[in-house]
Amino acid sequence: MTKHHGAAIPTPKDDPVPHAVFRVDGVPTHERFDLWRESIACVFEVEANKTVRSNGFQAEIDANMFGSVMLARTQTLEQRWERSPRLMAKDGMDHYMIQLYEKGDMLWETDSGPMSFPKDGLVVFDLAQPMVSKTNNFANISLFIPRLMLEDQLKSAGDQHLRVLTGREPMVQLLRDHMISLKKLSSRITARQAVEIAPATVGLAAACLNAAISPDSPHQASGIVFAQITKARRFVEANITNPNLSVEAICIEVGVSRSKLYERHCHIFVVRAHEAQVLIWDHAASAAACH
C-alpha cells in the first residue's frame, strides 16, 4: 500500500484478480443468440435449434484471470459446440482446458462410441485439436492453462485430448474441489496472491493428469497442499456453527493426518465459543506459507 495525503492507495498487487462477466439478458431476445455466437467464436463455433435461439435464450460467462491461467463459469442452454481446423487456425489458442459440470451434461462421439460427462469427474481438452460435442442446459467451470505452463510437467502431453477423469479418483476429486473453491473465493483473491496460486494450480493439474506427484516438480507438491488448505477452509466455513466440528473432522474431510495438517501451517485453533467447539481459521495464512 502507498499513501497519498494521508489516505492509503492500493498498489497494483493489492488489486483483485481481473474479473469479467458477459451475459446476453440485457439485449433484445431476438438478438441474444447471435451476440452469444459472435462472442464465443474466439473459442468455439456454436449452433442451437430455432426454439432454443428464439425462446428467451440465455448465456453467461463469469471469468477470472490468475496470471496466465483463466477460470470461467459458463451457464447457457442446449447447443452444439465445435473447434474446427478453420477456427483453430484463426484463433491460435494453444491451451489445455479442464472442465467440470455443476449441472447438465455433455455428449461427444469417439471411435468406441458415444461418451457423456463423468459424474463428479473432469474432461480434458487440447484446444489445438478438433472436437465436436453437444450439451443440454448446463453450468460448468473451465480451467484454461497455456500449453507452455503445463506441457513439460505431463508424462503424455499429446494424449490428453478428450481424456475422461472419473470422480472416483482422489486426485480428480482434489482438482475438482480446487476449481470450485478457487471460483468461489475469486472475489477475495488479490493479484499478489494470484502469483502464487497460478503455478500451484498448474502443478495440481499436472499431478492429477499424471495420477502422481513428480518429486522433481515443487509446483505439483505445492499445488496439492494449496488445494487441501482451500478444501479445509471451505469445510470450516460451511460447518462453523456445528458443535461437532474438530481438527479430526477436518483431517478426515481433507484426507491428511493431524501432524500433516499442523506441519502445513494451516493455523487452525480449537476454541470454545457460545458453548460449542468452533474452529477458527487464520485468514492471514496464505498459500505461499504452505509450501
Q: Is 2 helix (H, G, I), strand (E, B) or coil?
A: strand
State residue 241's pLDDT score.
Answer: 77
Residue 173 has phi, psi (to 5 degrees) of -60, -40
- How far lies 145's CA from each of 23, 94, 204, 253, in Å? 23, 9, 12, 28
Q: List the beta bridge partners of residue 146.
A: 95
The position carrying cell 460451511 is 238
261, containing H or E segment:
helix 258-263
State residue 220's pLDDT score.
Answer: 47
Averaged over successive runs of 10 residues, the pLDDT of the chain (291 residues) comes to 50 80 94 96 95 95 96 98 93 93 93 86 94 96 97 89 88 91 92 89 91 48 62 73 77 68 48 36 39 45
3, three cell numbers: 499513501
State residue 240's pLDDT score.
Answer: 75
State residue 222's pLDDT score.
Answer: 56
DSSP letters spanning 198-248:
HHHHHHHHHHHHHTS--TT-HHHHHHHHHHHHHHHHHHHHHTTT-TT--HH
In this structure, which amino acid lies at residue 64? N
State residue 238's pLDDT score.
Answer: 77
Tell me the whole-structure pTM to 2 decimals.
Answer: 0.72
> The CATH number of 2-290 is which of 1.10.10.10, 2.60.120.10, 2.160.10.10, 1.10.3720.10?
2.60.120.10
**Tens digit of pLDDT for each residue in 164-212?**
998 888 889 889 999 999 999 999 999 888 888 999 899 999 989 987 4
Whether 29 and 49 have beta carbons less than 8 Å apart is answered as: no
State residue 47's pLDDT score.
Answer: 97
DSSP letters spanning 74-112:
EEE-SEEEEE-HHHHHHH---EEEEEEEEES-EEEEETT
Interatomic CA distance for residues 149 and 129, integer angstroms: 18
Spans of all domains in the chain: 2-290
* Segment 268-272 long-range contacts (CB within 8 Å, at least 24 positions apart): 268/232, 268/236, 270/246
